[in-house]
Amino acid sequence: MPAPSEASASIRFARPDDAAAILSLITELAEFEHLTHLLVATEETLRAALADDLPRVECLVAEYEGKVVAYAMYFHNFSSFLTQRGLYLEDLYVSPAARRMGVASAMLRKLAAIAVERQCARFEWTVLDWNQSAIDFYENIGATVMPDWRVVRMTGEALTKLAGGPG
Amino acid sequence: MPAPSEASASIRFARPDDAAAILSLITELAEFEHLTHLLVATEETLRAALADDLPRVECLVAEYEGKVVAYAMYFHNFSSFLTQRGLYLEDLYVSPAARRMGVASAMLRKLAAIAVERQCARFEWTVLDWNQSAIDFYENIGATVMPDWRVVRMTGEALTKLAGGPG
Protein backbone atom coordinates (compact mmCIF):
# COMPACT_ATOMS: atom_id res chain seq x y z
CA MET A 1 0.00 0.00 0.00
CA PRO A 2 1.45 3.37 -0.93
CA ALA A 3 1.99 5.83 1.91
CA PRO A 4 -1.11 8.00 2.18
CA SER A 5 -0.53 11.64 1.39
CA GLU A 6 -0.56 14.29 4.07
CA ALA A 7 -3.64 15.92 2.58
CA SER A 8 -5.79 12.87 3.35
CA ALA A 9 -5.82 13.57 7.08
CA SER A 10 -7.97 16.45 8.30
CA ILE A 11 -7.48 18.16 11.60
CA ARG A 12 -10.34 19.55 13.63
CA PHE A 13 -11.24 20.38 17.21
CA ALA A 14 -12.25 17.34 19.17
CA ARG A 15 -15.84 17.01 20.38
CA PRO A 16 -17.04 15.26 23.53
CA ASP A 17 -18.26 12.50 21.19
CA ASP A 18 -14.66 11.76 20.21
CA ALA A 19 -13.96 10.53 23.73
CA ALA A 20 -13.92 6.82 22.87
CA ALA A 21 -11.65 7.23 19.86
CA ILE A 22 -9.25 9.46 21.74
CA LEU A 23 -9.17 7.17 24.76
CA SER A 24 -8.21 4.35 22.46
CA LEU A 25 -5.25 6.40 21.22
CA ILE A 26 -4.28 7.42 24.74
CA THR A 27 -4.19 3.73 25.57
CA GLU A 28 -1.86 3.08 22.63
CA LEU A 29 0.37 5.90 23.80
CA ALA A 30 0.47 4.50 27.34
CA GLU A 31 1.43 1.11 25.92
CA PHE A 32 4.22 2.65 23.88
CA GLU A 33 5.52 4.43 26.96
CA HIS A 34 5.16 1.31 29.16
CA LEU A 35 2.94 3.38 31.40
CA THR A 36 -0.43 1.63 31.21
CA HIS A 37 -0.38 1.19 34.99
CA LEU A 38 -0.77 4.99 35.22
CA LEU A 39 -3.70 5.19 32.83
CA VAL A 40 -6.98 5.56 34.70
CA ALA A 41 -8.90 7.67 32.18
CA THR A 42 -12.33 6.42 31.14
CA GLU A 43 -14.53 7.41 28.23
CA GLU A 44 -16.83 9.23 30.66
CA THR A 45 -14.12 11.27 32.38
CA LEU A 46 -12.61 12.18 29.02
CA ARG A 47 -16.00 13.18 27.63
CA ALA A 48 -16.62 15.46 30.60
CA ALA A 49 -13.16 16.98 30.28
CA LEU A 50 -13.74 17.81 26.63
CA ALA A 51 -16.96 19.64 27.54
CA ASP A 52 -15.94 21.48 30.70
CA ASP A 53 -14.19 24.75 31.36
CA LEU A 54 -12.48 26.74 34.14
CA PRO A 55 -10.82 30.14 34.67
CA ARG A 56 -7.44 30.36 32.94
CA VAL A 57 -5.38 31.84 35.71
CA GLU A 58 -5.99 32.37 39.38
CA CYS A 59 -3.97 34.06 42.02
CA LEU A 60 -3.76 33.96 45.79
CA VAL A 61 -2.38 36.92 47.65
CA ALA A 62 -1.22 37.25 51.24
CA GLU A 63 -1.88 40.52 53.03
CA TYR A 64 0.07 41.83 55.99
CA GLU A 65 -0.72 45.13 57.67
CA GLY A 66 -3.10 45.97 54.85
CA LYS A 67 -0.51 45.38 52.12
CA VAL A 68 -0.26 42.54 49.62
CA VAL A 69 3.11 40.99 50.46
CA ALA A 70 2.99 37.72 48.55
CA TYR A 71 1.30 36.13 45.59
CA ALA A 72 0.86 32.65 44.21
CA MET A 73 -0.24 32.55 40.58
CA TYR A 74 -1.56 29.24 39.34
CA PHE A 75 -3.75 27.59 36.77
CA HIS A 76 -5.15 24.19 36.05
CA ASN A 77 -3.17 21.90 33.85
CA PHE A 78 -4.55 18.61 32.68
CA SER A 79 -3.38 15.01 32.58
CA SER A 80 -4.62 12.97 29.63
CA PHE A 81 -3.70 9.78 31.48
CA LEU A 82 -5.85 10.68 34.46
CA THR A 83 -8.34 12.83 32.47
CA GLN A 84 -8.12 14.97 35.51
CA ARG A 85 -6.94 18.48 36.00
CA GLY A 86 -3.97 19.29 38.17
CA LEU A 87 -2.94 22.49 39.86
CA TYR A 88 0.12 24.12 38.34
CA LEU A 89 1.92 26.78 40.36
CA GLU A 90 3.45 29.34 38.03
CA ASP A 91 4.95 31.62 40.69
CA LEU A 92 5.10 31.81 44.45
CA TYR A 93 6.79 34.93 45.74
CA VAL A 94 7.03 36.52 49.17
CA SER A 95 8.36 40.04 49.57
CA PRO A 96 11.54 40.18 51.73
CA ALA A 97 9.80 42.21 54.47
CA ALA A 98 7.30 39.40 54.95
CA ARG A 99 9.69 36.48 55.07
CA ARG A 100 10.27 34.17 58.03
CA MET A 101 6.56 34.44 58.82
CA GLY A 102 5.61 31.13 57.26
CA VAL A 103 3.75 32.84 54.41
CA ALA A 104 5.20 30.62 51.67
CA SER A 105 4.37 27.46 53.60
CA ALA A 106 0.88 28.73 54.36
CA MET A 107 0.30 29.48 50.68
CA LEU A 108 1.57 26.06 49.63
CA ARG A 109 -0.82 24.48 52.13
CA LYS A 110 -3.70 26.61 50.81
CA LEU A 111 -2.83 25.63 47.22
CA ALA A 112 -2.69 21.96 48.21
CA ALA A 113 -6.09 22.35 49.88
CA ILE A 114 -7.53 23.92 46.72
CA ALA A 115 -6.03 21.08 44.68
CA VAL A 116 -7.56 18.43 46.95
CA GLU A 117 -10.92 20.22 47.15
CA ARG A 118 -11.08 20.40 43.34
CA GLN A 119 -10.05 16.78 43.00
CA CYS A 120 -6.79 17.59 41.29
CA ALA A 121 -4.55 14.57 40.95
CA ARG A 122 -1.35 16.57 40.95
CA PHE A 123 0.15 19.72 42.34
CA GLU A 124 3.06 20.73 40.13
CA TRP A 125 5.59 23.49 39.58
CA THR A 126 9.15 23.82 38.32
CA VAL A 127 12.48 24.46 39.98
CA LEU A 128 15.92 25.37 38.66
CA ASP A 129 18.20 22.34 38.91
CA TRP A 130 20.90 24.31 40.76
CA ASN A 131 18.51 25.61 43.45
CA GLN A 132 19.35 22.90 45.97
CA SER A 133 17.80 24.63 48.97
CA ALA A 134 14.46 24.84 47.14
CA ILE A 135 14.78 21.22 46.01
CA ASP A 136 15.51 20.13 49.60
CA PHE A 137 12.48 22.06 50.84
CA TYR A 138 10.18 20.57 48.21
CA GLU A 139 11.41 17.04 48.82
CA ASN A 140 10.98 17.59 52.53
CA ILE A 141 7.26 18.31 52.08
CA GLY A 142 6.83 15.19 49.96
CA ALA A 143 7.23 16.48 46.40
CA THR A 144 9.27 14.67 43.77
CA VAL A 145 11.69 16.32 41.37
CA MET A 146 11.19 14.55 38.03
CA PRO A 147 14.71 13.84 36.79
CA ASP A 148 14.15 13.10 33.12
CA TRP A 149 11.57 15.54 31.73
CA ARG A 150 12.71 18.74 30.03
CA VAL A 151 10.56 21.71 29.09
CA VAL A 152 10.58 22.49 25.37
CA ARG A 153 9.66 26.03 24.36
CA MET A 154 8.99 27.70 21.04
CA THR A 155 8.58 31.46 20.81
CA GLY A 156 8.87 34.44 18.48
CA GLU A 157 9.97 33.91 14.92
CA ALA A 158 10.18 30.12 15.12
CA LEU A 159 6.57 30.01 16.32
CA THR A 160 5.31 32.40 13.66
CA LYS A 161 7.19 30.46 11.01
CA LEU A 162 5.75 27.12 12.11
CA ALA A 163 2.27 28.66 12.25
CA GLY A 164 2.54 29.98 8.74
CA GLY A 165 3.84 26.85 7.06
CA PRO A 166 1.80 24.82 4.57
CA GLY A 167 -0.97 23.07 6.43
CA MET B 1 10.89 44.41 65.49
CA PRO B 2 9.76 40.92 66.46
CA ALA B 3 9.02 38.52 63.63
CA PRO B 4 5.29 38.75 62.87
CA SER B 5 3.38 35.58 63.54
CA GLU B 6 2.06 33.43 60.71
CA ALA B 7 -1.52 34.22 61.70
CA SER B 8 -1.07 37.91 60.85
CA ALA B 9 -1.03 37.25 57.09
CA SER B 10 -4.33 36.30 55.50
CA ILE B 11 -4.59 34.51 52.22
CA ARG B 12 -7.40 35.13 49.77
CA PHE B 13 -8.16 34.91 46.08
CA ALA B 14 -6.75 37.81 44.12
CA ARG B 15 -9.14 40.26 42.48
CA PRO B 16 -8.55 42.26 39.30
CA ASP B 17 -8.05 45.27 41.61
CA ASP B 18 -4.95 43.60 43.06
CA ALA B 19 -3.18 43.96 39.73
CA ALA B 20 -0.92 46.85 40.76
CA ALA B 21 0.17 45.23 44.02
CA ILE B 22 0.84 41.90 42.35
CA LEU B 23 2.74 43.52 39.48
CA SER B 24 4.96 45.19 42.01
CA LEU B 25 5.77 41.78 43.53
CA ILE B 26 6.32 40.23 40.10
CA THR B 27 8.82 43.01 39.47
CA GLU B 28 10.64 42.17 42.71
CA LEU B 29 10.71 38.53 41.69
CA ALA B 30 12.13 39.41 38.28
CA GLU B 31 14.82 41.50 39.95
CA PHE B 32 15.72 38.65 42.27
CA GLU B 33 15.99 36.29 39.32
CA HIS B 34 17.97 38.82 37.23
CA LEU B 35 15.25 38.50 34.61
CA THR B 36 13.77 42.02 34.44
CA HIS B 37 14.54 42.13 30.71
CA LEU B 38 11.89 39.42 30.28
CA LEU B 39 9.21 41.23 32.26
CA VAL B 40 6.70 42.93 29.98
CA ALA B 41 3.58 42.63 32.13
CA THR B 42 1.61 45.78 32.79
CA GLU B 43 -1.07 46.54 35.33
CA GLU B 44 -3.67 46.47 32.55
CA THR B 45 -2.67 43.09 31.11
CA LEU B 46 -2.50 41.59 34.59
CA ARG B 47 -5.92 43.03 35.49
CA ALA B 48 -7.43 41.53 32.37
CA ALA B 49 -5.78 38.18 33.05
CA LEU B 50 -7.22 38.05 36.55
CA ALA B 51 -10.71 38.61 35.15
CA ASP B 52 -10.66 36.43 32.04
CA ASP B 53 -11.31 32.72 31.48
CA LEU B 54 -10.91 30.01 28.85
CA PRO B 55 -11.73 26.31 28.36
CA ARG B 56 -9.51 24.07 30.47
CA VAL B 57 -8.53 21.49 27.94
CA GLU B 58 -8.88 21.29 24.20
CA CYS B 59 -8.05 18.59 21.77
CA LEU B 60 -7.33 18.35 18.06
CA VAL B 61 -7.91 15.11 16.27
CA ALA B 62 -6.79 13.93 12.84
CA GLU B 63 -9.11 11.73 10.85
CA TYR B 64 -8.05 9.34 8.12
CA GLU B 65 -10.51 7.20 6.21
CA GLY B 66 -13.22 8.20 8.66
CA LYS B 67 -11.24 7.15 11.70
CA VAL B 68 -9.59 9.30 14.36
CA VAL B 69 -5.92 8.37 14.02
CA ALA B 70 -4.19 11.06 16.04
CA TYR B 71 -4.86 13.49 18.82
CA ALA B 72 -3.19 16.53 20.28
CA MET B 73 -4.42 17.49 23.74
CA TYR B 74 -3.50 20.93 24.94
CA PHE B 75 -4.48 23.71 27.30
CA HIS B 76 -3.49 27.26 28.00
CA ASN B 77 -0.81 27.88 30.53
CA PHE B 78 0.08 31.36 31.66
CA SER B 79 3.22 33.41 32.08
CA SER B 80 3.19 35.90 34.94
CA PHE B 81 6.15 37.71 33.36
CA LEU B 82 4.31 38.23 30.10
CA THR B 83 0.80 38.24 31.65
CA GLN B 84 0.00 36.30 28.58
CA ARG B 85 -1.24 32.81 28.07
CA GLY B 86 0.78 30.21 26.26
CA LEU B 87 -0.24 27.01 24.57
CA TYR B 88 0.87 23.88 26.39
CA LEU B 89 0.83 20.60 24.51
CA GLU B 90 0.10 17.75 26.91
CA ASP B 91 0.13 14.92 24.34
CA LEU B 92 0.62 14.50 20.63
CA TYR B 93 0.10 10.96 19.44
CA VAL B 94 -0.27 9.41 16.00
CA SER B 95 -1.41 5.83 15.62
CA PRO B 96 1.20 3.61 13.88
CA ALA B 97 -1.07 3.01 10.85
CA ALA B 98 -1.14 6.75 10.17
CA ARG B 99 2.54 7.50 10.49
CA ARG B 100 4.83 8.79 7.76
CA MET B 101 1.93 10.89 6.48
CA GLY B 102 3.10 14.11 8.06
CA VAL B 103 0.23 14.10 10.55
CA ALA B 104 2.38 15.04 13.55
CA SER B 105 3.97 17.92 11.67
CA ALA B 106 0.59 19.11 10.42
CA MET B 107 -0.79 19.05 13.95
CA LEU B 108 2.20 20.96 15.30
CA ARG B 109 1.66 23.57 12.58
CA LYS B 110 -2.03 23.79 13.44
CA LEU B 111 -1.20 24.17 17.14
CA ALA B 112 1.35 26.87 16.35
CA ALA B 113 -1.30 28.64 14.25
CA ILE B 114 -3.79 28.48 17.13
CA ALA B 115 -1.11 29.83 19.47
CA VAL B 116 -0.32 32.74 17.15
CA GLU B 117 -3.99 33.47 16.45
CA ARG B 118 -4.70 33.61 20.18
CA GLN B 119 -1.67 35.78 20.82
CA CYS B 120 0.08 33.16 22.90
CA ALA B 121 3.65 34.12 23.66
CA ARG B 122 4.84 30.53 23.98
CA PHE B 123 4.18 27.09 22.65
CA GLU B 124 5.51 24.56 25.15
CA TRP B 125 5.63 20.86 25.88
CA THR B 126 7.98 18.42 27.57
CA VAL B 127 10.33 15.74 26.29
CA LEU B 128 12.24 12.94 27.99
CA ASP B 129 15.93 13.83 28.18
CA TRP B 130 16.97 10.52 26.60
CA ASN B 131 14.66 10.90 23.59
CA GLN B 132 17.34 12.35 21.32
CA SER B 133 15.44 11.87 18.06
CA ALA B 134 12.53 13.88 19.43
CA ILE B 135 14.91 16.54 20.77
CA ASP B 136 16.60 16.76 17.37
CA PHE B 137 13.22 17.13 15.65
CA TYR B 138 12.06 19.85 18.03
CA GLU B 139 15.31 21.80 17.76
CA ASN B 140 15.10 21.47 14.01
CA ILE B 141 11.74 23.28 13.94
CA GLY B 142 13.11 26.06 16.13
CA ALA B 143 12.15 24.98 19.64
CA THR B 144 14.52 25.20 22.59
CA VAL B 145 15.02 22.49 25.19
CA MET B 146 15.34 24.33 28.51
CA PRO B 147 18.33 22.71 30.21
CA ASP B 148 17.92 23.81 33.82
CA TRP B 149 14.25 23.59 34.77
CA ARG B 150 12.88 20.49 36.46
CA VAL B 151 9.24 19.58 36.99
CA VAL B 152 8.30 19.13 40.64
CA ARG B 153 5.25 17.01 41.39
CA MET B 154 3.27 16.29 44.51
CA THR B 155 0.53 13.66 44.52
CA GLY B 156 -1.39 11.25 46.74
CA GLU B 157 -0.67 11.15 50.44
CA ALA B 158 1.90 13.94 50.40
CA LEU B 159 -0.64 16.24 48.76
CA THR B 160 -3.44 15.30 51.14
CA LYS B 161 -1.11 15.76 54.10
CA LEU B 162 0.02 19.20 52.95
CA ALA B 163 -3.59 20.20 52.31
CA GLY B 164 -4.68 19.14 55.77
CA GLY B 165 -1.93 20.82 57.76
CA PRO B 166 -2.56 23.76 60.07
CA GLY B 167 -3.05 26.75 58.04
Q: What's the pLDDT tens digit per position in A40-62?
A: 778 887 777 666 554 556 777 77
In a domain, B18, yes or no: yes
> Which residues of A are less than 8 Å from B49 in CB distance?
56-57
pLDDT digits (tens, 9 = 90+) for A85-134: 889 998 888 878 787 888 888 889 889 999 999 888 899 999 888 889 88
First to last CA, chain B: 24
Q: What is the mean pLDDT of residues A19-31?
A: 75
pLDDT score of B83: 67
Contact A35/B at CB under 8 A: no
In a domain, A154, yes or no: no
CATH label of the domain that carries residue B58: 3.40.630.30
In a domain, A165, yes or no: no
Question: Would the CB atoms of B115 and A4 count as touching at under 8 Å?
Answer: no
Chain-wide mean pLDDT for chain B?
79
In a domain, B160, yes or no: no
Domain range holding B101? Answer: 10-125
pLDDT score of A141: 92
B78: nearest CB among A57, A61, A79: A57
**How many Å apart are CA B85 and CA B80, to the nearest integer?**
9
Q: What is the count of structural domains for chain A?
A: 1
In a domain, B146, yes or no: no
Give the closest-approach CA distance of B47 to chain A in angstroms: 11
Q: Note the pTM of the prediction, 2 decimals.
A: 0.73
Residue B52 — very low, low, confident or very high, per pLDDT cuts 50/70/90? low
